[in-house]
Amino acid sequence: MSRVARIARGRALLAQLVWTAVVVVAAVLALGALLVAIGANPDNTLVRLVLDLANAADLGVFSRTNGIRQFGGENADVKNALFNWGLGAIAYLVVGRVLARLISPGKS
């Protein structure tokens, strides 16, 4: 295998890893929002794990307690989680797709 082919293969693998990572993070954010929306028991170990991971993945920008948009009134927690974590999941997917495209070798 030539040097150019090895580099292209490595870049393709790296692009796949980046895409896989952002899909996992986006899925955690979406699942966290869903768990908040259905009122899952936050004392449950698995629910707590997902919510903690989503809190870490939101980077503070998409925080459900201090995010891009804050709702008030009835069901504010649910609205905040769905809006901010949903927007965060979309942002991760868009940025991840762009990064994966930039990393992957071009077609010749």
The residue extents of the domains of the chain are: 3-103
pTM of the model: 0.87
pLDDT of amino acid 67: 82
pLDDT digits over 31-86, tens only? 999 999 999 999 999 999 999 999 999 988 888 888 888 878 888 889 999 999 99
Which residues fall within 8 angstroms of residue 105, CB to CB, at 6 or more apart? 7, 8, 11, 12
Tell me the pLDDT band of 105, cut-offs 50, 70 and 90. Answer: confident
- Amino acid letter at 47? V
